[in-house]
Amino acid sequence: MSGAAWVDAVTAEFERHVAAERGLSPHTVRGYVGDARSLLEHASRSGASGPGDLSAPLLRSWLAVQHEAGVSRATLARRGAAARSFTAFAYRRGWLASDPGTVLGSPKVRRALPHVLREAEMAGVLASAKADIEQRPPGRTPADAAVVLRDAAILELLYATAIRVSELCGLDRGALDLGRRTIRVLGKGAKERTVPVGVPAIRAVSQWERSGRPVLARDGSGPALFLGARGRRVDPRTVRRVVHERLRAAGVPAGPGPHGLRHTAATHLLEGGADLRSVQEILGHSSLATTQIYTHVSVDRLKASYRQAHPRA
């Protein structure tokens, strides 16, 4: 079997594994599969005739080539994790006599504190979106008006629930429980969780469903809660564009994207008195350590407020 042929075949097997057996998100699957293919192509160029020829030195040489090309520490860490995932898979399949990924180190990644908006800034963004609904310029078409309703609902829901952009795009009609003020979310690893939703977000989503969604809906729209301009389920790229455009319109030109709104919501919850365990549940973090980064954000902001307000700071 030629180098290209075995690389294609092995990559396809690994893709089926990570997509079906591990329940990872489509974005993560693409990343893992792309990294695995890159590793196998490097191995093939180095003379490997199959996955059984993978070794720790070969894994290290693959990462070294990328390091020399200027790849960031965070990307190297991610690719190292993908390589370890692949070699563990190959070992379980019997393709490897031992797992070389177990001795592969991972570069330490400095975790940058997330960018968050102040409460007043976030309130301004949401007020700007609401004002855009109410202004209704003469030339606005029904489709344009529907998109404005959708965008306002997306902003309100992202901030109210701190859900991921992929989770928002995956929402179906019926996920929002108006009586209980909660929403069912399918998170990482196909784990479902229930998240509280505030009244303004419920109103915005209800207005979108009542007056906006029917305008954009088509025969192929299916049960998707949020739709794009062509009537299909909204995609993450569209949501990111919406968030950036709305932040700029509200005077926050360097503001965060959808994930930044998740950071913002989590930080505001902690600053408002929510306990860390509750925030962990809302965010869908499997480990409390992942949630704890937000305590650092809150402490830093507390120190900044102290320095500005205390006469002897």
Q: Which of 32, 91, 159, 294 is catalytic?
A: 294
Query: In the annotation, is 294 catalytic?
Result: yes
Q: Which of 42, 262, 263, 268 is catalytic?
A: 262
Per the annotation, the verdict on 173 as an active-site residue is: no
197 neighbors 157 (Cβ within 8 angstroms): yes
Candidate list 164, 213, 246, 263, residue with the active-site label: 164
Question: 264 Cβ partners below 8 Å, 6+ apart?
Answer: 116, 117, 122, 159, 256
The whole-angstrom separation of Cα 86 and Cα 284 is 26
188 catalytically annotated: yes
Among residues 130, 140, 285, 301, the one annotated as catalytic is 285
Catalytic-role residue among 130, 181, 188, 232: 188
Region class of 283: left (phi > 0), else alpha (psi between -120 and 50), else beta: alpha
* Helix extents (H) in the chain: 3-16, 26-45, 56-68, 73-92, 119-135, 142-161, 165-169, 199-207, 213-216, 236-249, 258-271, 276-283, 288-291, 293-309
Q: Is 262 a catalytic residue?
A: yes
Task: Provide CB contacts within 8 A for 258, sequence distance 6+.
Answer: 158, 164, 165, 168, 236, 239, 240, 243
Closest CA to 211 of 157, 161, 122, 136: 136
What gap in Å lies between CA 147 and CA 155, rounded to an integer?
Answer: 12
Catalytic residue among 67, 241, 259, 301: 259
Is 310 considered catalytic here?
Answer: no
Active site amino acids? 164, 188, 259, 262, 285, 294
